[in-house]
Every structure is written in structure tokens, then in C-alpha cells.
């Protein structure tokens, strides 16, 4: 019997250890119980999200349509053209991760269908790493579903303590949490143990504490779009360290406590209000005046 009341990563680790099962199994069993669905039904729901992620990538890779503001929308095409001429230093998987993250994030700007994971502004991070790594390492769909369940469980547990909204805790709670979710998912895909998976989450999360949310012109475009590929790659760094058994000296639950505290201490002007930071640079103000004809 798997414990249904899991609200911390320590509880999650212990539940996996006691039942001798992987994180995704604990998560899907718990979700099935609480939603009064079968585990197969839960997995089918996750598969629909995975399919939607893949479709967003496919659509985004083909489009260079600009957002309504005209500020963003063609960067994925630019990156693809560069990689067609000269491959990235970090290789093919890096190329896929960065282009897939941009493709998905730009689809969000076009009001295309994306999966908020955990938010729309961070929608390119989780899909890019799961899809790219699965393609290049020949990972079957069943394991991809497992990885997405793990990512969701990471986000769920963090959200028990911290609201996953830039307006509440800054972008550390949006793109930051998405990067942590991605790290857990990829650590699983590459054969990590439960301890290594949770350590990857910890390493990704603690190195993004304090990330502000200061969108230019009040739109989820600058710096949000480019932040997606950056933090997708950040997740892979966490995975590589974790799989080498390099551990975070601060336990994961304590890192989430620090995330909560940092969000509370962060100035409201740096939490999606566009009242400070990048949003109030000279160029950002000029863009705002032009866009809204002030």
C-alpha cells in the first residue's frame, strides 16, 4: 500500500523506499486514488499532455509568425538556420533542446496549443528536455510518460509550499521550478536512482533561487522566451552532476523552504509587475512607449 498523503520530498523518497517502487509509480497510484480513476486512465491523461507537447514542438519549428507585439516569434527559425550551417559545441541533443524550447515558447506567444508545465511562460522547458533526450537515446513512449509523471510530481510537491506564479514568488517559481521538474524527468530517463533523481531536482532548484520576474512591456515575451532554452540546458547540467553522485549539501525540502522565503523577501516590483529590473531599462521603456503609443 502506497502512502497517499505525500507533501514533501522526504515523504516521497520514503514511500518509494518502503514500497520498493519508482517515483512515477508512487505518483500515479496516488493520483489514481485521489481522482478515483484507474492508473491506466491517469497514464492516458498524461499521454495526451505528452502528445500536445510534441505537437507544439512540431508546429513551432515550422513557424516564424511574430507575436502581436512584434517583439518575438522568429528566434527558433534563426537558431535552426545557424545549426544547419554550423553544429552546436555541445552537440545534437543540445541543438534539439534549445530549438524545441524556443519552438514551444513561441507557440505560446501565438496563442497556439501548449501545456503549462508548470506555467505557460515556462512551457518550453519540460517538453524540450523530455522529447529531445527521448529521441536521441531511443527512449520508448512508456518511459516518456513515466518521466512526465515524475516532472508533475516534483511540481506538485513544490506547489504545496510555494505558489508557482511569478506574481507571487518571481520566475524562480515558474522557469526555475520547470527546470527542476525537467531535471527530475531526465535523470529518470537516463537511469538515475530515486536518490539521484531527487538530487538532480535539488541541484537545479537551488541554483535558480532569486530569479526575478520582470517582463518587458508587461508581456510574457522578454526575457521569458529566451529563458526557456537557457533553463532547459540548466536542467541537463543538474542531471549530469547528479548522475555522477555529486550531491546537494542542502536537502531538497530545505531548498523549497528557501524558495518560499526568497519569494516572500523579493520586492513586489520584481514579481511580474514590470515595475523594475529589465522592464524598466531605457530600451524597455522605449519599447513600451512605442507599443502602447504613450
DSSP line for 187-208: HHHTT--HHHHHHHHHHHHHTT
pLDDT score of 122: 98
pLDDT score of 58: 98
User: Is the Cβ–Cβ distance between 197 and 150 less than 8 Å?
Assistant: yes
Domain 9-291 = CATH 1.10.4100: yes
Chain segment 224-251, per-residue pLDDT in tens: 999 999 999 999 999 999 999 999 999 9
Number of helices followed by number of strands (H, E) in the chain: 13, 0
Question: pTM of the full predicted structure?
Answer: 0.97
- Show the low-confidence residues of the chain (pLDDT under 70): 1-3, 294
Contacts of 274 (CB under 8 A, 6+ apart): 214, 215, 216, 217, 218, 280
pLDDT score of 3: 64
What are the domain boundaries of the chain? 9-291
Contacts of 175 (CB under 8 A, 6+ apart): 121, 122, 125, 208, 211, 224, 227, 228, 231
pLDDT score of 5: 86
Amino acid at each position: 500500500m502506497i502512502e497517499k498523503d505525500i507533501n514533501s520530498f522526504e515523504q516521497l523518497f520514503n514511500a518509494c523506499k518502503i514500497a520498493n517502487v519508482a517515483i512515477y509509480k508512487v505518483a500515479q497510484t496516488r493520483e489514481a486514488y485521489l481522482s478515483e480513476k484507474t492508473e491506466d486512465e491517469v497514464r492516458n491523461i498524461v499521454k495526451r499532455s505528452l502528445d500536445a507537447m510534441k505537437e507544439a514542438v512540431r508546429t513551432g519549428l515550422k513557424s516564424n509568425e511574430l507575436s502581436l507585439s512584434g517583439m518575438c516569434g522568429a528566434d527558433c527559425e534563426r537558431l535552426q538556420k545557424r545549426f544547419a550551417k554550423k553544429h552546436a559545441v555541445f552537440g545534437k541533443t543540445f541543438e534539439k533542446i534549445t530549438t524545441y524550447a524556443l519552438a514551444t515558447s513561441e507557440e505560446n506567444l501565438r496563442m497556439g496549443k501548449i501545456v503549462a508545465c508548470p506555467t505557460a511562460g515556462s512551457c518550453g522547458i519540460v517538453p524540450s528536455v523530455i522529447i529531445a533526450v527521448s529521441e536521441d537515446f531511443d527512449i520508448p513512449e512508456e518511459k516518456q510518460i513515466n518521466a512526465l509523471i515524475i516532472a508533475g510530481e516534483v511540481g506538485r510537491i513544490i506547489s504545496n509550499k510555494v505558489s508557482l506564479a511569478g506574481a507571487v514568488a518571481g520566475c524562480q517559481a515558474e522557469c526555475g521550478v520547470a527546470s527542476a521538474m525537467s531535471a527530475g524527468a531526465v535523470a529518470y530517463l537516463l537511469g538515475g536512482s530515486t536518490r539521484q533523481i531527487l538530487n538532480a531536482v535539488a541541484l537545479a532548484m537551488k541554483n535558480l533561487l532569486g530569479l526575478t520576474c520582470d517582463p518587458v512591456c508587461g508581456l510574457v515575451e522578454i526575457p521569458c522566451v529566451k529563458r526557456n532554452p537557457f533553463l532547459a540546458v540548466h536542467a541537463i547540467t543538474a542531471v549530469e552532476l547528479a548522475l555522477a553522485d555529486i550531491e546537494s549539501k542542502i536537502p531538497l525540502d530545505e531548498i523549497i523552504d528557501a524558495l518560499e522565503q526568497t519569494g516572500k523577501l523579493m520586492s513586489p516590483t520584481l514579481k511580474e509587475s514590470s515595475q523594475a529590473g529589465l522592464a524598466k531599462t531605457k530600451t524597455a521603456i522605449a519599447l513600451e512607449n512605442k507599443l502602447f503609443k504613450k
